[in-house]
Amino acid sequence: MSTTRTCFPDRRRRLVTLACLLFGSAPAAQAQVVLVPSSPQIGSSNPITAEPPVSRPHTQPCVVQLFQSLRFADFTPKVFAYAPPAGCPGPWARVVLSADFTVTAGRQFDRTAAFYLGHANIYYGTTAEPRATLSPSWHVERDVTDLTPIFESAETGEANIGNFVGVSGGVTYDGIIYASAALEFYPASDAQRAPRTPDLVVPVNGPGGDAGTLGSSTSQITQTLTLPTNVERAYLDVIAQSQSNDEFWYFCVPSDQATNLESCGNTPFRETEVTLDGQPAGVAPVYPWIYTGGIDPYLWEPIPGVQTLDFRPYRVDLTPFAAVLADGNPHVLGISVYNVDSYFLATANLLLYTDHGARRVTGGLLSSTLSAAPAPVVAEHIQVNPSGPTYTGNISVSSRREFAISGYVDTSHGRVQTTFEQTVSFLNRQEFDVSPSTDIQNVQQATTVDSRVSTRDGSTVSTREQHFSYPLRIDFSFVVNADGSQTQTTTSEQGDSEQGDLVRESASGGSQVHDSSLENEVRATDTLNFDAAGNFLGPSGSMTTQRYRSQDSSGGCYSRTLKAQAKKLVSVSDGSGCPH
């Protein structure tokens, strides 16, 4: 699958990437993937993020190379073979996926990149766009320890980066993508013990075994499950990626205004819905990813948007349904996206923990107040001046869901009751000034999720709280000046804020508390300049800043700030806000 776009010379298709207009073409050359240096290079235009590498144990890892310098110049997935590391049996203290990418200099769009092993997704993200004089290389890594079950036996894998190379519409696309990937297995030791990992991972994908296509609110990807009869905990890690008309879903408007405001329809509200046997089982917010070709490619060079090169799955807690999943009957798990215009891709992994002391558990679902669909509130305040015509005003869309789901399982270690409570809030407000000579569209969006899981296991009670916030603000202005020249100015503020608290209590009154937090923010601004004939004159005022900070109650803290100007990294600052 690939992010697909078409080049539109009409300025009114403002949110389509401008790579076909802005980025010159150069002959594509063979390239080997190189590891991006861990230290940011001042003056470089190579993609760089402030996010930290995955923390690793001090043991020597066993490395399994999944593939090396695979060439992506078409839409055929590349198949590879995997075997567990010889002489390095699990359980492992940590498993890390490490991947490196390069795109040859030339003209190319950003593309969707996904790796699968046994059809389970182990990586999902997008690629960086090249220029005539820039062949971007970058490195990503993620902790995949929770996917341990799929690494314990030989599997067939698939690397899927659909990439068009050739001539389309008179435009030559010649940027070729290369990728390498490896798994690092860190043996457990006395200092770093192996964590409890899921006992089974079940992929949930489309009919092709990879991300499925969702073309409307009624579209679903489904997986029929017949699971072990001793499941006691269940989680679904899901990614729903916007594509085509939905790529800029946060700029969409009610369908009755789509033509007037020259935008996508179905309002700017999207939400991933999870069902079990057709009944609502969970909700996942959609993160507003912006790809490196999004709106204005110079906004994201060299610092991409939040998670752009490495999407983070959202985990849906399905533990209240554990006894239902373990009853020995087939069940259908479904994933859809509310308000899809056209279209989304979705992939997920179901993570299951079983009772090691019993072959069968019993129990049931006690209660659920989760409704089948959200009920967003839309308020339109658009004034029309027929001369022009001109459309001004604002539109706001909001949604709020509060629900609780409770279930229990009778296990070999007693009855375990789990209650999951969640509040999901969404607000999108847009201001418009649209006329033949002015196109202004500003959006302020906030998505927040507040979750609380209470578990009673015998005399022990544990409570886990998580808070997510996905703020987004984009100010977009396209103006035709008096002399016919044109300017497009965009300012974007995109964030990811996460807080987690775990409290364990016992019957004797003792307790343990652990908390963690993460703040990731990218701010970018740029102006594109065109002459009266529509010829691109170049960007001006390009500036991007990323601030990343994470810490936890055990004393761990990481902080880095990156700043770029005129498409080059100009400064790196470490440690701000960390006591040590």
CB-based contacts of 102, cutoff 8 Å, min separation 6: 31, 32, 33, 34, 135, 136, 137, 177, 178, 179
Range from 23-27, 321-325, 383-387 carrying the lowest mean pLDDT: 23-27
Q: Can you state the percent helix, strand and coil of the chain, rounding each to 5?
A: 5, 55, 40
Task: Give residue 511's pLDDT.
Answer: 78
pLDDT greater at residue 502 or residue 277: 277
Task: Give residue 37's pLDDT.
Answer: 37
* Res. 26: pLDDT tops 70: no
* Res. 498: pLDDT tops 60: yes
Domain assignment of residue 456, yes or no: yes
Q: What is the dihedral of CA 33, 34, 39, 45, to 10 degrees?
A: -60
Domain assignment of residue 4, yes or no: no
Task: Give residue 576's pLDDT.
Answer: 87
Domain assignment of residue 74, yes or no: yes
Domain assignment of residue 10, yes or no: no
pLDDT average, residue stretch 197-217: 96
pLDDT greater at residue 576 or residue 111: 111
* Res. 495: pLDDT tops 50: yes
pLDDT interval class at 50 (50, 70, 90): very high
Task: Give residue 173's pLDDT.
Answer: 96
* Res. 388: pLDDT tops 80: yes
pLDDT average, residue stretch 344-354: 98
pLDDT interval class at 39 (50, 70, 90): confident
Task: Give residue 60's pLDDT.
Answer: 93
Q: What is the pTM of this model?
A: 0.94
Instruction: State pLDDT tens for residues 546-570.
Output: 999 999 998 899 999 999 999 999 9
pLDDT interval class at 458 (50, 70, 90): confident
pLDDT average, residue stretch 218-233: 97
* Res. 96: pLDDT tops 80: yes
Domain assignment of residue 8, yes or no: no
* Res. 30: pLDDT tops 50: no
Phi, psi torsion values for 145, nearest 5 degrees: -55, -35
Task: Give residue 507's pLDDT.
Answer: 65
Domain assignment of residue 523, yes or no: yes
Write the CA distances from 334 to 5, 19, 283, 418, integer angstroms.
28, 36, 12, 22
Domain assignment of residue 7, yes or no: no
Domains in the chain: how many in total?
A: 1
Domain assignment of residue 363, yes or no: yes
Nearest by Cα to 85 from 232, 184, 162, 227:
184
Name all contacts of 530-535 with Cβ < 8 Å and 24+ positions apart. 530/11, 530/485, 530/486, 530/487, 530/488, 531/484, 531/485, 532/483, 532/484, 532/485, 532/486, 534/9, 534/11, 534/486
Instruction: State pLDDT tens for residues 519-544.
Output: 999 999 999 999 999 999 999 999 99
* Res. 43: pLDDT tops 70: yes
Task: Give residue 13's pLDDT.
Answer: 39
Helices (H), 146-280: 148-151
Task: Give residue 16's pLDDT.
Answer: 44
Instruction: State pLDDT tens for residues 245-268.
Output: 999 999 999 999 999 998 999 999
Q: Which domain holds residue 462?
A: 19-574
Instruction: State pLDDT tens for residues 189-199.
Output: 888 899 999 99
